[in-house]
Structure 1
């Protein structure tokens, strides 16, 4: 799957449905046939995966030791609430209330493409996250990325 690109603002309707923005829908051609999977993020946001990407996550999780309590706990929390989203004829998906409650989503949302998944944030929480950017982003980049290419070049 090619990497996803873009940031999109949307509104939920009174029934909790969200129109998938055209620019994102073009990047997700398999969504109409296979659906998407939505779940909790590692913080107070939601994550949308293609079915193919979700299955890759499940494959990773299936390799964890089922007798390791932390692994079991992680799998339990990571998969709890995962729901398949099938776009309707109008291109809308119905977001599960338990997940929107978890993420504090009330109406306006931001869809933030992150490589092979889409983060779905409450608009105010997304703005707060952006405002909390590290004072020295270059330092963070160095810590995370400095040795990234070195192992491949040696």
Structure 2
């Protein structure tokens, strides 16, 4: 699978279906055969996982300690509304109403490639999130997130 990147403005049709943009579909060559998984994301987003990536996520989720209250709560939140998606003949997927409601998506949305997964945002919410982040300097955030790694981008 190629890395997923880019932002794609999309609209749901009257039945709540999303046409997967051709550029993303090209980077997901097995999607028609294997399908996708969608679940709740962070900050009122949704996350679409290619099936192979979801299977790795499942392995991590199986390690969560169900006997701890935080573990149970996290699993409930993460898996609430989890749905398998499959493309129809026209390249559309039907997004679950419960998840659309969770993310506040009514019609216009943005798909954001995040290397191995795709975030799904209500367009207005996504744009507002950047307005809020402008208060914090991007360089400061980069230093906190990547600054402990050695060297440049390649970690040397």
Report the TM-score, using the length of structure 2 for normalisation: 0.92
Output the CA distance in 2 between the equivalents of 1:149 and 1:74. Answer: 32
Q: Shift in Å at residue 21 of structure 1?
A: 0.3
Output the CA distance in 1 between the equivalents of 2:150 and 2:7. Answer: 27
Report the TM-score, using the length of structure 1 for normalisation: 0.93
Equivalent pair of 2:2/2:28 in contact (CA under 8 Å): no
Q: Shift in Å at residue 68 of structure 1?
A: 1.5
Query: Counterpart in 2 of 1:149?
Result: 150
1:11 and 2:11 matched: yes
1:38-117 matched pairs, under 5 angstroms: 38-117=38-117
Output the CA distance in 1 between the equivalents of 2:8 and 2:87. Answer: 17
Gaps of 5+ in 2: none
Alpha-carbon RMSD: 1.4
In structure 2, the residue corresponding to 1:132 is in which secondary structure? helix
Q: Shift in Å at residue 132 of structure 1?
A: 1.9
Q: Shift in Å at residue 149 of structure 1?
A: 2.7
Output the CA distance in 1 between the equivalents of 2:138 and 2:123. Answer: 22
Equivalent pair of 2:36/2:85 in contact (CA under 8 Å): yes
Q: Shift in Å at residue 134 of structure 1?
A: 3.6
Output the CA distance in 1 between the equivalents of 2:20 and 2:2. Answer: 18
Query: Counterpart in 1 of 2:130?
Result: 130
Q: Shift in Å at residue 66 of structure 1?
A: 2.3
Residue-by-residue CA offset, 1:40-91 (whole Å, 9 max, x unaligned): 1122111100011111111001112221221121111111111011000000
The count of residues paired between Structure 1 and Structure 2 equals 152
Q: Shift in Å at residue 23 of structure 1?
A: 0.6
